[in-house]
Amino acid sequence: MNLFCVGLSHHQTKVETREHFAGDAETRSRLRSAGCAEVLLLSTCNRVEVYGASEAAIDTAEIARCLVGRGPTPAAAAPPVFYRHEGDACVTHLFRVASGIDSMVVGETEILGQVKKAYETAHASGTAGPFLHRLFQRAFRVAKQVRTRTEITRGSVSVGSVAVELASKIFGELRQRKVLLLGAGEMSERTARALVSRGVADLRVSNRSLERARELAGAVGGQVVAFETWTQHCAEVDILISSTSSETPLVHPENLDPILQLRLDRPLFIIDIAVPRDVHPDVNQLEGVFLYDIDSLQSVADQSLVQRRQKIASAESIISEHVEDFWKRFFREDSLPDGSAAPVSGSSISSQALRASES
In this chain, which stretch among 93-101, 247-255, 307-315, 322-330 interacts with another protein, using CB under 8 A? 307-315
126 binds another protein (CB under 8 A): no
**Smallest gap from residue 296 Cβ to another protein (A):** 5
d(CA 164, CA 156): 9
d(CA 49, CA 145): 23
The residue (of 166 and 182) whose beta carbon lies closer to another protein is: 166
- Spell out the residues 6+ positions from residue 69 whose beta carbon is closer than 8 angstroms to its own: 19, 20, 21, 22, 23, 24, 27
Instruction: Fill in the DSSP letter of residue 251.
Output: B
Q: Cβ(121)–Cβ(130) under 8 Å?
A: no
What letters, b where the CB count within 10 A reaches 16 and e where it falls short, cover 68-101?
Answer: bbebeebeeeeebebbbbbbbbbbbbbbbbbbbb
Annotated active-site residue 45? The verdict is yes
Q: How many residues bind another protein (CB under 8 A)?
A: 26
Chosen residue from 311, 315, 330, 346 binding another protein by CB under 8 A: 311
For the beta carbon of residue 13, count every other beta carbon within 10 angstroms. 20
258 binds another protein (CB under 8 A): no
In this chain, which stretch among 2-10, 93-101, 181-189, 303-311 interacts with another protein, using CB under 8 A? 303-311
Chosen residue from 50, 53, 166, 179 binding another protein by CB under 8 A: 166
168 binds another protein (CB under 8 A): yes
Report the Cα 24 to chain-centroid distance in Å. Answer: 24
290 binds another protein (CB under 8 A): yes
H or E segment at 9? strand 2-9
The residue (of 26 and 295) whose beta carbon lies closer to another protein is: 295
For the beta carbon of residue 252, count every other beta carbon within 10 angstroms. 15
Residues 260-279 that bind another protein (CB under 8 A): 264-265, 267
**Smallest gap from residue 303 Cβ to another protein (A):** 6
Give the gyration radius of the chain's Cα atoms. Answer: 26
Chosen residue from 126, 172, 218, 276 binding another protein by CB under 8 A: 172
Chosen residue from 10, 68, 79, 171 binding another protein by CB under 8 A: 171
- Spell out the residues 6+ positions from residue 348 whose beta carbon is closer than 8 angstroms to its own: 87
In this chain, which stretch among 42-50, 53-61, 65-73, 298-306 interacts with another protein, using CB under 8 A? 298-306
300 binds another protein (CB under 8 A): yes
Q: Where are the beta strands (DSSP E) in 22-133?
A: 36-43, 47-54, 81-86
**Smallest gap from residue 99 Cβ to another protein (A):** 15
129: three-class secondary structure by DSSP: coil
For the beta carbon of residue 30, count every other beta carbon within 10 angstroms. 18
**Smallest gap from residue 309 Cβ to another protein (A):** 11
In this chain, which stretch among 70-78, 204-212, 288-296, 341-349 interacts with another protein, using CB under 8 A? 288-296
**Smallest gap from residue 162 Cβ to another protein (A):** 9
Q: Which of 5, 45, 66, 234 is catalytic?
A: 45
Cis amide leading into 79 (omega within 30) = no
In this chain, which stretch among 52-60, 208-216, 240-248, 259-267 interacts with another protein, using CB under 8 A? 259-267
Report the Cα 14 to chain-centroid distance in Å. Answer: 18
Residues 132-161 that bind another protein (CB under 8 A): 150-151, 154-155
d(CA 41, CA 89): 18
**Smallest gap from residue 304 Cβ to another protein (A):** 8
d(CA 135, CA 323): 10
Q: Which residues are catalytic?
A: 45
For another protein, the binding residues (CB under 8 A) are 150-151, 154-155, 166, 168-172, 264-265, 267, 284, 287-288, 290, 292, 296, 299-300, 303-304, 307, 310-311
